Amino acid sequence: MKTNKALLIVAVNLVILVALAVFAPHLMIVPGKVTDAHDEIAKDCFACHTPFLGSSPAKCITCHKVAEIGLKTTKGLPIAKEKKNVAFHQKLIEDDCVACHSDHKGVQAFRPIGQFSHTLLQQGLQEQCDSCHSGPGDALHLKIEGNCAQCHTQQAWLPATFEHEKYFRFDRHHDTDCATCHVNNDYASYTCYGCHEHSRSKIRAEHVEEGIYDYENCVECHRSGDEDEAERIWRSGWFESGNSRPLDTHRYESEKRRRQDDD
């Protein structure tokens, strides 16, 4: 008798819970208040959810047409000025809204940005970071346009993979105008030709005179504008490399004094 009574109580509770979950889910399982824009459908859970399956992109797209995101409202009215750059929605490889969005404030309307996968973007757009992201405002980045991937990855903005001082340190003779050395926004390569006496013919003549024939990779010896440092690096490399011909130090010193007099 007691067992039957207990089973009846359990059954009644289950029926009540199921009924509430079906007819008043917002009272039972809502994880938090919906975003303000969805107030009018706050009690219509099935506008976004399918029973026992949850929310799906198909439900989102019935109102938020991907081709119109950032351009028109869900009611078809033109958006005069969108504050955020959301044009990338039109270039997703699949319409997976719930990969980034959750409507309830209780679980964050926008999931943490670290969960966003750039693989959802078309390949061409993945290489155009500045079409969605604003560049940093520091002095270095203000002079750089595009090609973010040469130093940064899509997995994390920091740490960057490049430290300029490992290759060349700026001093009073060199400013930090990137385009002077890195032409056509290609930061994977550089050139020292075009400044002061840095013509290809003159650089070749000066280095060949010193017995240096491999001179195209300037920063291998010239880590700054300090010629003494370049000399130390070169002499160290010269002897370590096992070259048999001795370095003509007297001629090198004479040439250095001549250049100083010319300056």
Q: 161-179: per-residue pLDDT in tens?
A: 777 888 888 877 777 678 8
State the CB neighbour count (10 A cutoff) for residue 116: 14
Give the whole-number percent of the chain exceeding pLDDT 70: 79
CB-based burial label for 97 (10 Å; 0-12, 13-18, 19+): buried
In contact, 132 and 90? CB cutoff 8 Å = no
Return the H-helix or E-strand segment holding 64: none
Dihedral of CA atoms 75, 81, 108, 29 in degrees, nearest 10, equals -10
Task: Please write the tens of the pLDDT for every residue from 232-260.
Answer: 877 776 544 444 344 444 444 454 455 45
Positions of the chain with pLDDT under 70: 1-2, 25-31, 82-83, 105-115, 176, 194, 196-197, 237-263
Which amino acid, one-letter code, is at 78?
P
Is the pTM above the cut of 0.85? no
DSSP states of 152-209: --SS-SSS-S--GGGT----TT----HHHHSGGG-TT----TTSTT--HHHHHHHHHH
